[in-house]
A and B are shown apart, each in its own frame.
Chain A
Amino acid sequence: MGEDSPLLQTKGIRDGLLVTFGQETWSILVAALLNQIESQPSFFQGARLAVDVGANDLRVADLSAFRDQLSDRGISLWAVLSQSSVTEMTAQNLGLATRITKPRPVETRPVSDEIPAEAAKWVKGPLRSGARVTHKGSVVVLGDVNPGSEIVASGSVIVWGRLRGVVHAGADGDEDVVVCALELIPTQLRIAGKIAVSPKKQGKIQPEAARLQDGQLVAEPWHHDRMDS
């Protein structure tokens, strides 16, 4: 990622790049950003950019010139965030967003009881050490997932076998996903932004499912009645 100066910080977000400006006059900040774009053209090329301009009061002329300068460089400005109501108004007049949507916490479980079939990826196991499966959607593994392997899915992960590798479900922030396996002893389990390590298992081996409950990762034995909701 771009080298950050006190003038501006660049980071990747779900919808492209977010540039956060420091406290400085507008013209200096714009010059600094254009300068950085010039030095890393491939990083910025084609990017969708959101800019947090802080408390600067910006007029239509300022923002539209800024937007044009960016589009000359192949970058589309789609959002301007600001604490200034003047700037917010300006941005809205120009048709720019003034909020970047965050993955909203799901208040209620979606009522749909169907999982879109084409969104799931079938994987024939065993997944051996060094193997890595990534998928936009859910992943179903038929066979063991050995330690040293990794599954990253934006949906749920279902393993018909032993799950002993690293698994990350809901990798794009979806918290309403499950990780289940006939034997659930992952090296590390992640759902959305939460990380957990399997406790030492004792007792009998049984199928388990892990999910997020009130911000906590919980694994519990498979009960069909609980999985229905």
Chain B
Amino acid sequence: MTAKVVTITSGKGGVGKTTSVANIAVALAARGQKVTCIDGDIGLRNLDVVLGLENRIVYDLVDVVEGRCRLRQAMIRDKRLPELYLIPAAQTRDKSAVSPSDMINLCNELRSEVDWILIDSPAGIERGFKNSIAAADKVLVMTNPEISAVRDADRVIGLLDAEEKGPASLVINRLNPALIKRGDMLSVDDVLDLLAIDLIGIVPEDENVLVASNRGQPLVLDSKNRAGQAFENIARRLLGEQVPFMDLDAPGLWQRLLGRK
């Protein structure tokens, strides 16, 4: 087995990196893939919470890097999916506790054991970002359809090119078709027009994402949810499947039942 290392990053904070990593990881694992997630946000860890694994942390990434435990001991196995693991970030340290070469070494050690290593990058373009992309084979840049997030994504794409980690793929998260129709939100085309990179996912805005994250139950486990499906589609595209993009303008269930458009 040779794992593919995928980093999700964005520049701007709060666009949904952690939620996406959790959902894509769960979707991959549900398809029988062996997946390890690494939380790169040392000092502000979240991925454990979103995955619902917070109370099982004993060792973390920094413990591994500093040799206080073996890699295996820091890998927390998910309760629901036996092939899903998490290496949590340390909460009491900061980004400088880990170096890019530490991340490369750690991923190389893991590569032979799993199919996918998903790294959740912190916001920003400093040390934590550099750590997170150091080992990446593929980088997904995430943005929201808002100008400030797109601007930061543009900057990050430029940095990735400079680090020869490109070409990155784009995930547009929290898209609201109703707002776009009213002309109050950037459309997918607007975003692609500026960023000019491949699109790998469009995730509609959905309040259930937040609810699911709070519960530590990734949404993708609920097969009826559209945001969940969108994350699943990203996972399938990572696996090489050709999946058409969802029609986000499709009428909802109620509208269909009532015979409206």
Interface residues of A (CB under 8 A from B): 126, 128-131, 144, 146-148
**What's the least CB distance linking B164 to chain A, in Å?**
15
Is B39 among interface residues, defined by CB-CB distance under 8 A?
Answer: no
Q: List 26 A-B contacts (CB under 8 A).
A: A126-B196, A128-B154, A128-B155, A128-B157, A128-B158, A128-B161, A129-B151, A129-B152, A129-B154, A129-B155, A129-B158, A130-B154, A130-B155, A130-B158, A130-B159, A131-B158, A144-B194, A144-B196, A146-B154, A146-B194, A147-B151, A147-B154, A147-B194, A148-B151, A148-B154, A148-B155
User: With a CB–CB cut-off of 8 A, which chain B residues contact A130?
Assistant: 154-155, 158-159
User: With a CB–CB cut-off of 8 A, which chain B residues contact A131?
Assistant: 158
Q: A129-B152, A129-B154, A146-B154 are in contact. List 8 more A-B contacts (CB 8 A).
A: A128-B155, A129-B158, A130-B154, A130-B155, A130-B159, A144-B196, A147-B154, A147-B194
CA distance A126 to B166 in the complex (A): 14
CA distance A204 to B196 in the complex (A): 22
CA distance A129 to B158 in the complex (A): 7
**What's the least CB distance linking B151 to chain A, in Å?**
5
CA distance A172 to B161 in the complex (A): 31
**What's the least CB distance linking A216 to chain B, in Å?**
30
Q: How large is the interface on B (under 10, 10 to 19, 20 to 34, 35 or more residues)?
A: 10 to 19
Those of B214-231 within 8 Å (CB) of chain A: none
User: With a CB–CB cut-off of 8 A, which chain A residues contact B157?
Assistant: 128
**Chain A, residue nearest B194 (CB):** A146
Contacts between chains A and B (CB distance < 8 A), count: 26
CA distance A147 to B154 in the complex (A): 9
CA distance A129 to B12 in the complex (A): 13
**Chain B, residue nearest A127 (CB):** B158
Q: Per-residue CB proximity of B76-110 to A under 8 Å, as 1/0?
A: 00000000000000000000000000000000000
User: With a CB–CB cut-off of 8 A, which chain A residues contact B151?
Assistant: 129, 147-148
Chain A contact surface mostly = loop
Chain B contact surface mostly = helix
**Chain B, residue nearest A130 (CB):** B155
**Chain A, residue nearest B125 (CB):** A130
User: With a CB–CB cut-off of 8 A, which chain B residues contact A146?
Assistant: 154, 194
CA distance A127 to B241 in the complex (A): 32
CA distance A148 to B157 in the complex (A): 13
User: With a CB–CB cut-off of 8 A, which chain B residues contact A144?
Assistant: 194, 196
**What's the least CB distance linking A106 to chain B, in Å?**
37
CA distance A128 to B154 in the complex (A): 6
User: With a CB–CB cut-off of 8 A, which chain A residues contact B196?
Assistant: 126, 144
CA distance A28 to B151 in the complex (A): 54
CA distance A205 to B196 in the complex (A): 19
User: With a CB–CB cut-off of 8 A, which chain A residues contact B161?
Assistant: 128
CA distance A102 to B250 in the complex (A): 66
CA distance A131 to B159 in the complex (A): 9
**What's the least CB distance linking B166 to chain A, in Å?**
11
Q: Per-residue CB proximity of B124-151 to A under 8 Å, as 1/0?
A: 0000000000000000000000000001
> Would you list the 4 A-B pairs with minimal beta carbon distance, nearest first?
A128-B158, A129-B155, A129-B154, A130-B155
**Chain B, residue nearest A148 (CB):** B151
CA distance A130 to B151 in the complex (A): 9
CA distance A146 to B155 in the complex (A): 10
User: With a CB–CB cut-off of 8 A, which chain A residues contact B154?
Assistant: 128-130, 146-148
CA distance A128 to B161 in the complex (A): 10
CA distance A126 to B155 in the complex (A): 11
Which of B151, B154, B157, B161 neighbours the largest number of chain A CB atoms within 10 Å of its CB?
Answer: B154
**What's the least CB distance linking B133 to chain A, in Å?**
16
CA distance A131 to B162 in the complex (A): 11
Which of A128, A130, A131, A146 neighbours the largest number of chain B CB atoms within 10 Å of its CB?
Answer: A128
